[in-house]
Structures are given as structure tokens and as C-alpha cells.
Amino acid sequence: MKVLSSPEQTLGYRFHQYFQLTKPRVVSLIVFCAVIGMFLAVPGAVSPVILAAATTGIALVAGAAAAMNCLIEQKIDAIMARTQGRPLPRGEVNSRQTLLFSGVIGGIGLSLLYWFVNPLTMWLTLATFVGYAIIYTIFLKPATPQNIVIGGASGAMPPILGWAAMTGEVTSESLLLFLIIFVWTPPHFWSLALYRTKEYAKVGMPMLPVTHGPAYTRLQILLYSILLFVVTLLPYAIGMSGLIYLASAIVLSGIFLAYAIGLYRNYSDRLAHKTFRYSIWYLAALFAALLVDHYFKF
């Protein structure tokens, strides 16, 4: 009888490799924004059954889309230092296994949404999968420096998915949450692209700092950050939120804008990295403030 002695042969290790294909840190933010959308969609308590089914379904489909992204970009990932440690470039899983894994968890996720939530949420989630895994990854990303702007529509869908899960419809409030993430995405991603410019250039990816230079990219980050500051005030302007959110949005967006001004005036890779990391925390904190305000509005 063969003894499984190396970690590569254990079931736990294999599970971890497949789990890494789903880009768990990215998916966790996606699911968090979707869950906030669920709570904001109803005035009182949410249905625990729908909450559980929608959260699980959206998480599984988002993970499936991430796995497809890894599959399609595995050659690029093998070259870039940031992504060389992913399971496919390291040979921990192969293309067929990744495709099967993506199909299985994606299918389970869509089934959960259809049978336990509602068909609209399932179709919207499927459209988000296609938008990210196919349209953005295959067509937009290698074709245009505006890839992250156009493709950002897929990444901005989670609040709409959560809202639709609870109400069965897409409303102006959910579209406003979509708009916040849509405007947030370019300065978030371009701050990463700035300190990874050489890597993107090496693989021939037309990211904005590669095609238009760092100075132009820093200007775009600043302009989008100004627009983001304005957009985040809209929930209060339309009566969707109260003073708790307004104060949080002003402080959080003000810090984001300060980072953008710093990048524009006195760039450094270290500052770009700090801006990127703050942008992740910023979005989570902003949506958390919306949730707190929803239940303690004054």
C-alpha cells in the first residue's frame, strides 16, 4: 500500500490548488458587495434561505469565472512575476481539470440561483460570467487600453445581483451601486498597472501606462478619483442613505483622492502600491458604511 507522504499528494493540498484558481481574495470582495446589495434591497430582515442560496451561487459562479480567466491567461501568468505562483503556471493542475472545475462549480452556482433565488438573478449572473471570462479576458484585455473601463461593467455587477436576488428586479438604487464600483475600477486597477508596467509590456498587454505612458495614466487616475468622490455622494443626494454614509463617503473618498493627487504630483511605485491596497479597503469600507447607515439612518 502506497503511503501519501508528500504534501502534493494529499487531498487537502489538491483542494487548496483548486481553491486558488477561484482567486478567493477577489471573489470575497465581489460576494461582500453582492451581500450588501441584498440587505439594502429590503427595509427589514432578509430571507435567510435566499441569502444563503444567493451568496453561495454568486460565489461559485464568480469563482468559475476566475478559474476561466486563469485558464485563458495561463501563458501570460507564467511570465508575470505577480501571477507565476498560480496553480496552472506551476503545473499543479492542467487545462482540462481547470475547465471541468469551472464548469462544475459554475453550473452548481447557476442552478442554485435559478431554483432557490429567481431566474433573473441567474441570467444576470450568467451574463456577468460571460462578460468577464469571455468578453473582457479574451477580447477586450488584449485589444484596447480601455479594457478595464469597458470590462469594469462585469466587475460592477455584484450589487445588482444581490438586489435582484431579494426583489426580482433591477432598480435605480442598484444601478447607482453599480455606478460606484464602475467608476472605482479604473483608478483601482491602473494604480496596480503603474507599478507593474514593465510586466504588462513584457507580455504585450496594452494596459494604459504601457500605451499612453505613466503621466497620462496618473492624470486619468486623478480624474476618475474626482468623479468617484462625486458619485459616492449620490446615495445621500437621492435619499437612499443618511448622514452616517455621507460622512463615511466624504472621509473615505477624500483619502482616495489624496492618494490620487499624490500619485499625480510625486509618483513612486511604493505610493502606487499603497494606493492599490487602499482602494480595496476603501470599497469594502464604503459598502459597509452603506449597510450600517441602512439600519441606523438619521
pLDDT, tens only, 6-21: 555 688 899 999 999 9
Measured between alpha carbons, how far is 128 from 71 in angstroms, rounded to an integer? 17
Residues of the chain with pLDDT under 70: 1-9, 298
pLDDT at 1: 34
List the grid coordinates of 196. Answer: 507593474
Per-residue model confidence (pLDDT) at position 3: 40
CATH of 12-168, one of 3.40.50.300, 1.25.40.10, 1.10.357.140, 3.40.630.10: 1.10.357.140
Residue 149 confidence (pLDDT): 94
- The two most distant CA atoms of the chain are separated, in Å, by 69
Note the pLDDT of residue 5: 45
Cβ–Cβ < 8 Å for 168, 120: yes
Where along the chain do its domains lie?
12-168, 171-298
Confidence (pLDDT) at 10: 87
Whole-number pLDDT of residue 297: 76
Question: What is the per-residue pLDDT for 29?
Answer: 97
Per-residue pLDDT at 4: 44
CA distances from 28 to 22, 70, 108 (A): 10, 17, 18
